[in-house]
Structure 1
């Protein structure tokens, strides 16, 4: 049986039928100690086979036909292999994205990508991680026969990186808890749901997440307007995590789910900030209506009327203020108020914003309200910036504001806030769609450093259409496949990663390395100057109304790897002098 294979870096994207775009060349990988890294194995046989990884022994339902087992010998325990799954995106292409948890897979025809990830421990003493790729073939009851082998050498720098949890990258990926419950068909905020939540929050913490999200109204974002789309019809509504009741005309609030969720996040080290969602300036509020007639900014809070035995809504501005007061005082009573930020997603009406903020402030006049905004329009910050402590700019608005970016950041930081950037359904460039070049997922960390920002925000860590393992396409062309999620729902109630998520993690690690190199004596000016060769000059970046940018950055993985490692080597050399 003939087996073809290639060893490739982690940024190579496999699109079925476009194998000619995958360049052949010398494999290059040089890593720091304690750095999460990955490479890929690209395989193809001349007939169908059942593939297994490592020492796995499995059998396909077809029986003992052709089998190929792939293992990597040397330094066992440092590496883990997984088959990649393939999803169909909007243009019909079949693209490798999910990192499957299967260690065996029947491969009918064509090429298959295998993901290999690992980490070199800080106690490793050699300059190279010397591995050997081996492929064994068997059929029926014949013993395995070695049909391919190749040495794989990974350079190891004598430099230990800090965990991303301890780094300076301020990661803010939004959480959609109800989407997680629907993926596994469990009751919202049930015991099973909290088990799932714990698993997913653990995954978020491993990326270095800093923020807890509390959605305290019903249907903010109006389900991302899912009611308008029949193709791959999907329920994307979020529900209030607070259980609200009315008895004898007075509201009562059950905060047990709130407290349990906060405790889960804090238990995984996500404890720097608590964002309150759904009470000011949500981007889609008006078309879905509102039960509160005397409040212009639509708010929806389901309330169970115990006297009448029926579900209703909070229906007055006064009662909504009473509800806010109960929520705020509960968080303050737990000693959490200094962490609380009121989150507004794409506000664009200053007068409406002002009215709602006044109501929020009146609910707890004894405490300072800190506002956080993710905006597309810099004019909103200019006109109402005094009330905004934390700010995130879309890529387009960031490029459009490049000349005054430093002054905006200085203003935000002077208020004790963080300034981040975000991409969403636009722009096409520098995004994390499944169709995007994989290196762009990694470059989020590089551009965050290059632009001197505190971190990165993204509207979705995991919100899925109805069956994301079968059809990831949704709302195209408004949304590109993958816009909604970094990860997939695994069958074990745990997240299943993607190659985009892992490359994104690698970029966060790079950000941390650059920050540490600054402390070691390599000037920020020098790092920025080196980066400019690959990322392009800031003054040449252009905003193209309404939703595009022009940027000239390299897509070559090796160039970025060599630049980063050359700076590490310079530091190592300087430390010996």
Structure 2
């Protein structure tokens, strides 16, 4: 089956290469909403700019309310932390070739934050849908309200801003770990032939240090799809060019503290629920004499590549229980691709998997990867899980197993990495017992939750809220489908079939990050900072501040979110961290 998929990619590669320039320089879609002419009546000058809240979304065709604008920005952060904010340009006149620049930040004495640590980018708009009163983002109907939503953080050098439009800007500062504590000042400069502005800002560096991302304890598991990268960039899967274009995309994930490698060991483990179907990284071949041969060459390349980037805690192999229970293999006798449909618990199923798992274990041990490889399943019934586990353990009793899905008490001690659905009732003592055994317990959101979530229509602060929620419920981290399951036109239209828009990806082609992903990473930083601060306060005996921190953490529960916007709870908690 891998041969078929490779051929299909080769066929489309020429057209994909022709479209690659469009992924780098692209035109946003027309705004489905009519221009808000009334909002522009307040403004008589050609153009304006200022800092705005990182929590606010601004419509492209509307002018902001003056009360939303600030002439300067004051931020706070620890050494080693990345902090960010938004600015906004809104204009009555078309501004051509707008450029953004920031020089080094000047701090106490002769200390500086280098220019290379500072990024100023334009934010681009993508089409999203709005769930309204729907109680789930799965199986959504056609015809939902749509609009453009600012999300993609672009790396383009300059940008033309159309008349009577608003354009968000993203300002990000990576504070060096060796920075001297104190206040650092700088200026965001906006320049074009028709408009120039200087927006001053300062960052207070607090005398505490956040470790580098590779040392974060947060168990982040966002699933990757290398096949999407190949399609978008018009390269042959698993070629040198494929690995080259993937590197900055996957390095960005490593820089967020990602722990797990997503490996597909069969063809289409998720029943075509992605625009780019996952191929099998293992070639299954039934020989003429009835024996089996397994080619691990692609699997090995992918795993080693990701480990070299620093993503190396678990290799999660999907899936022994695909959603359609279909298993493809190459039949040497007929030189054709064959399909087996088999249910866990049947003889056909066991015969298909037993030998492979035994052979796979030998290969993994030879590579030195056995103790970090999990046979992974996604939202499968308990009876199917038990049938699969019996085969796994008979193939090798030391195999590791992982699962994302409903909480099953009878399965929890069999799973080294267990992610339960949001609001699943898992006892706190179970999480503690698992942690004492070295087992990971996380939670996940998917299309099922209208909020909190990371859809392109979600309030930005919800992405940050998620990691505080993990801290509150004592989870080790968070899992999300998915990192880069890109749609047909991902930069301009984030909608995908009957899933809420943005459900299938968090970053964009061309190695562009997003507000959603940066806010998610922000929450992971907060998680690490809170754990460090908690231990520091316990050791120092500062019970008043410890009580304040614990109260801030306890606010991140589902019931509070129903009544209080995520941004309010997040900002209150961050104030405690940055005292």
Specify the TM-score bucket, using the shorter chain as the normaliser: 0.7 to 0.9
1:488 paired with 2:508, answer yes
SS in 2 for 1:489: coil
1:489 offset after TM fit, Å?
A: 0.8
Provide the residue aligned with 2:97 in structure 1.
51
1:270 paired with 2:303, answer no
Structure 2 residues not aligned, in runs of 5+:
1-44, 107-114, 130-144, 342-347
- Indicate which of 248, 253, 259 corresponds to 2:294: 253
Provide the residue aligned with 2:419 in structure 1.
392
Provide the residue aligned with 2:17 in structure 1.
none
SS in 2 for 1:432: coil
Q: Give the 3 Å change call, closer, same or farther, for CA 416–78 of structure 1 in structure 2.
A: closer
Provide the residue aligned with 1:312 in structure 2.
338
1:14 paired with 2:61, answer no
In 2, Cα distance between equivalents of 1:319 and 1:339: 23
SS in 2 for 1:324: helix
1:354 offset after TM fit, Å?
A: 2.1
Provide the residue aligned with 2:186 in structure 1.
131
1:457 offset after TM fit, Å?
A: 0.8
1:209 paired with 2:242, answer no
1:515 paired with 2:492, answer no
Question: Cα deviation per residue 1:112-160 (whole Å; 9 max; x = unaligned)?
Answer: 1111112122343362111123344536xxxxxx843342222221222
In 2, Cα distance between equivalents of 1:343 and 1:438: 31
Q: Give the 3 Å change call, closer, same or farther, for CA 274–78 of structure 1 in structure 2.
A: closer
1:95 paired with 2:149, answer yes
- Indicate which of 518, 524, 527 corresponds to 1:502: 518
Provide the residue aligned with 2:3 in structure 1.
none
In 2, Cα distance between equivalents of 1:137 and 1:213: 44
1:219-368 correspondence runs (5 A): 219-224=268-273, 235-249=275-289, 250-280=291-321, 282=322, 284-285=323-324, 298-303=325-330, 305-313=331-339, 316-317=348-349, 318-348=351-381, 350-364=382-396, 367-368=397-398
Question: Cα deviation per residue 1:222-252 (whole Å; 9 max; x = unaligned)?
Answer: 011x6xxxxxxxx332111012223333222
**Aligned residues of 2:96 and 2:192 also touching (Cα < 8 A):** no
**Aligned residues of 2:102 and 2:118 also touching (Cα < 8 A):** no
**Aligned residues of 1:535 and 1:554 also touching (Cα < 8 A):** no
Q: Give the 3 Å change call, closer, same or farther, for CA 130–541 of structure 1 in structure 2.
A: closer
Q: Give the 3 Å change call, closer, same or farther, for CA 535–166 of structure 1 in structure 2.
A: closer
Q: TM-score scaled to structure 1, two decimals? A: 0.79
Q: Give the 3 Å change call, closer, same or farther, for CA 189–122 of structure 1 in structure 2.
A: closer
Q: Give the 3 Å change call, closer, same or farther, for CA 275–77 of structure 1 in structure 2.
A: closer
1:74 offset after TM fit, Å?
A: 4.6
In 1, Cα distance between equivalents of 2:546 and 2:445: 22
Q: Give the 3 Å change call, closer, same or farther, for CA 279–561 of structure 1 in structure 2.
A: same
1:164 offset after TM fit, Å?
A: 2.0
Provide the residue aligned with 1:4 in structure 2.
48
Q: TM-score scaled to structure 2, two decimals? A: 0.79
In 1, Cα distance between equivalents of 2:516 and 2:558: 24
- Indicate which of 535, 560, 564 corresponds to 2:577: 564
In 1, Cα distance between equivalents of 2:229 and 2:546: 40
1:415 offset after TM fit, Å?
A: 3.8
1:71 offset after TM fit, Å?
A: 5.0
In 1, Cα distance between equivalents of 2:169 and 2:286: 55
**Aligned residues of 2:98 and 2:192 also touching (Cα < 8 A):** no
Provide the residue aligned with 2:27 in structure 1.
none
SS in 1 for 2:385: helix
Q: Give the 3 Å change call, closer, same or farther, for CA 445–191 of structure 1 in structure 2.
A: same
SS in 1 for 2:361: helix
In 2, Cα distance between equivalents of 1:173 and 1:160: 26
RMSD: 2.7
1:537-552 correspondence runs (5 A): 537=555, 541-542=558-559, 550=562, 552=564
Provide the residue aligned with 1:23 in structure 2.
68
Structure 1 residues not aligned, in runs of 5+:
55-69, 140-145, 227-234, 286-297, 544-548, 567-577
Question: Cα deviation per residue 1:11-41 (whole Å; 9 max; x = unaligned)?
Answer: 3323334554783457331122221111222
Provide the residue aligned with 1:121 in structure 2.
176
**Aligned residues of 2:526 and 2:574 also touching (Cα < 8 A):** no
Q: Give the 3 Å change call, closer, same or farther, for CA 450–384 of structure 1 in structure 2.
A: closer
Provide the residue aligned with 2:139 in structure 1.
none
**Aligned residues of 2:98 and 2:191 also touching (Cα < 8 A):** no
